[in-house]
Each structure stands twice: as C-alpha cells, then as structure tokens.
Amino acid sequence: MAAVPTSFDILIVGGGLVGAASAWHLARLGLKVLLVERGHPNAGASGQNAGSLHFQIERRFLEQGEQAAADGARIVTLNRLAIEEWRGLENLLGRPLDVAMHGGLMVAETEADMDLLAFKVARENALGLDTQLLDAAQLRARAPCLSPALAGAAWLESEGHANPRILVDAYAAGAQAQGAQIRTGTAVTAMAMARDGTYRVTLDGPDGALAVQVPRVLLAAGHRVPHLAGLLGLNVPLYAAPLMMSVTDRTEPVLPYLIQHVGARLSMKQTEDGNLLIGGGWASRLAKRADGTPDLDQPAIMDRANLRANLAVATRVMPLLKRRALLRTWTGTTCISADQLPIVGEIAAAPGLFVAAGGSLFTLGPVLARLLAQTIAQGSAQGIGAGPLALFQPRRFAHLDAFAVLP
C-alpha cells in the first residue's frame, strides 16, 4: 500500500455540492485539502436534482403536524442567509450558473390548503421572511399560466432555480485553483482514529491503495455517510430517499417562477432552454441485491404509479402541460435525517470528524459549506452554540453513540 504524505489538514469524502464547496472555502482559508470522490464529481444527488431554490417552509414539514412545522420554521433563519448566498454566487465564483431568482409560488387548491398557507406565511413573516399570501385573483394576475381553479398561493420573490449540472464544477475548479487536490474514482475502504486523535484512512483509487493520515475528516457523501461513519463504529441517522424528476420538451417562456404545492408533492420550473422540469419529492425505488437488501451502488428504479401521480398534480396546477411531450424521467438518491433537518457539524464522539448531509442540500449547500468551513478553520469548539449551524449539529443524535469506543 502506498502512503500519501501527511501534509493535508483535512480529507473531504464526497465530490458533490457540499464537498466541493467546502473544499473551495477551506482552501481559500489556507487549509491543505484533499477531496476524494468514488465516482466522478457531481455524480450523486447534487447533479440529479431539479435545481430548485426553495426558501419557503417546505411541505414535508407542514404535513407532519404542528411540532414538525414549528421545527421546520426554525430553518427560515438559514434560508434568509441562503438567499443572500445565491444572489452573490455567480460573482463569487466568476462564472454563470444559470441562477434565476424571479420568485416562487406555493399554490393551494382548497380552502384547507389556504388555511395551511396562512399558518405558514405567519410563521415565516415572524422570522423575517417576506412571504405574501395571494388570493385567487392575485394569483391569476401574477401567473396566468396556472389553473384558474387554484384557491391562491404564497409568494416569495427570492425563490427560483439554478443549474445543478454546472455548479459543482465551478466549486471544484475553484478549489483546485486554490491548491486543493481532488482525486476521482477513489473510494474510502477503511478508517480508524489513531491514539493521537488523527484519522488513518485507506483509499482505493486508480493507482491502487493509498493511506493518508489527517487531523480532520469531512463526510459529505450523501446517503453513503452512515456507511462511512460506521467504519468508525459511529451512527449517523441518515436514510436513503430515492426520488424522481421529469422534463418536457421545449416551449415558449410561460413560467418565470418556481412552483410548489402546499397540499401535494410538486415542484415545477422552466429552464432557460424552455424545458419544464417537474418533481416534488415523489419516490422511486431502491435497487436490491440478490439477498433483498438495498443496493445503494445502483441507480434507483423509476416507479410508474408515482410518475403518473406526479404528472397528474402538475397538470392540475398548470393545464397547458397536457400539450407538452415528456422527454425523460430520471431518478436520484438523496438522504434525510430522522428529524428531516440537515446534519452539519462535528460528531461529539469523534473530535475532528465532521458531517454535512441531509435534506435541502442544493438550496442550502452553498451557505452551509461556507459556515461549516469557517467553523472547521477557526476550531470546532468556537461559534457553534448560538450560531446558524446550531440547529443542525450532529450532537442532537449523540445518544446513538453512547457505546462507541474510540481511542
């Protein structure tokens, strides 16, 4: 086994949005960074999602009862930071990213949906997010392409979308320009904590097995994070969530906004090329091994019933979709935590081991990576308790590692 000199300050595992963005920020802060990706950059959820920038409280929090809605509302503070992050991202990275922030509508079909929207808007306004409640007439005036049968919507002018296919490349190229090393086709096969508190990690790459020893590790590999943490005997409660997205043929510009639904799973937007992207959290199916266990190394399998249901909601909201051709449906596997909030920060049982994974990491990825990089660079014990990352710290699940044994 070849040995890589212990000259890196941090090893980042995962070449998606959070991994690449963290590498860029950490390299700019003066750390020597090694990023490894088992496939190619952006091969996972970061490149397979539909690119929504949704800053309103998501339906998945609202449908789980008042406590979940209250917890979900706490993410609004971070959403406000994310809005400013996205507004300046193209200038910061020095290249176009197809960022369009022309506004977003979370629509309602029934009076019960409108009551839920009013509850949500009140929570958001109280936390400084300038969401507005629109009645049916106001919605028709703003978005005549949508169904006249809709009861109303919540409007947020800062929402929109970006191109997930080019964002990670921008961060990765920037990280390399700042001195970070990126090794693709390189998987972590073993990891252990040494008695001096550093981490010994075995990598399997194109040139064979490599051994590195680093003081800090960031696990940013999405649904594979639990497996990686498990190499140290640690538990990170993240669960694979296989989803699907669809795209239609091109049409004239008709939809300048991000569309969501407060009572049903839906997201829609129109790309600069004119295609309409349709998603919203409809499940696909995990592939299975011969023994029946999930095979996370294989693409998820599209579920036809869920695809039909997704398209049915979309056409109810925007009837002109019935005249469009469906070009392609694809799947991607993201992950969610036990409480549906991202897990971002240092694992209490393993000083120097950081995690960044969980829901909404396209929308929140850039700001979370910046905040986490600052935390790592200045020392993990500083600035956590009351800062923007406090809500997402892994320590809320520290009881799961009560029996972990590390040097």
- CA dihedral for 271, 80, 131, 279, sign (positive or negative): positive
Please provide residue 330's backbone torsions phi and psi, each rounded to the nearest 5 degrees: -135, 165
pLDDT of residue 322: 96
Q: Whats the size of the chain, residue-wise?
A: 407
Q: How far apart are the C-alpha atoms of 281 and 310, rounded to whole Å?
A: 9
Q: Is 253 exposed, middle or buried (0-12, 13-18, 19+ CB in 10 A)?
A: exposed
Amino acid at 326: L
Amino acid at 275: N
pLDDT of residue 4: 53
- CA dihedral for 266, 271, 274, 275, sign (positive or negative): negative
- The per-residue pLDDT for range 23-63, each reduced to its tens digit, is 999 999 999 999 999 998 888 877 788 889 999 998 777 76
pLDDT of residue 339: 86
Nearest to 337 by CA among 387, 373, 391, 301: 391
pLDDT of residue 3: 58
pLDDT above 70 covers what percent of the chain? 94
pLDDT beneath 70, residues of the chain: 1-6, 63-72, 380-386
Please report, for residues 47, 106, 315, the alpha-carbon distance to residue 257 in angstroms, rounded to integers and kept in the order given.
21, 10, 16
pLDDT of residue 382: 44
Q: How far apart are the C-alpha atoms of 12 and 361, rounded to whole Å?
A: 16
Task: Look at residue 15 and give its three-state secondary structure.
Answer: coil
pTM score? 0.93
Q: How far apart are the C-alpha atoms of 228 and 235, rounded to whole Å?
A: 10
Token pair for 31: 């750390």
pLDDT of residue 7: 84
- The per-residue pLDDT for range 51-104, each reduced to its tens digit, is 899 999 987 777 666 666 666 677 888 999 999 999 999 999 999 999 999 999
Please report the domains of the chain, with CATH numbers, ordered by start residue.
2-46+165-237+339-401 (3.50.50.60), 103-158+241-334 (3.30.9.10)
Return left, alpha or beta for 177; rule: phi > 0 is left, psi -120 to 50 is alpha, else beta.
Answer: alpha
Instruction: Quote the strand ranges of 54-180, DSSP E.
Output: 104-108, 132-135, 152-156, 160-161
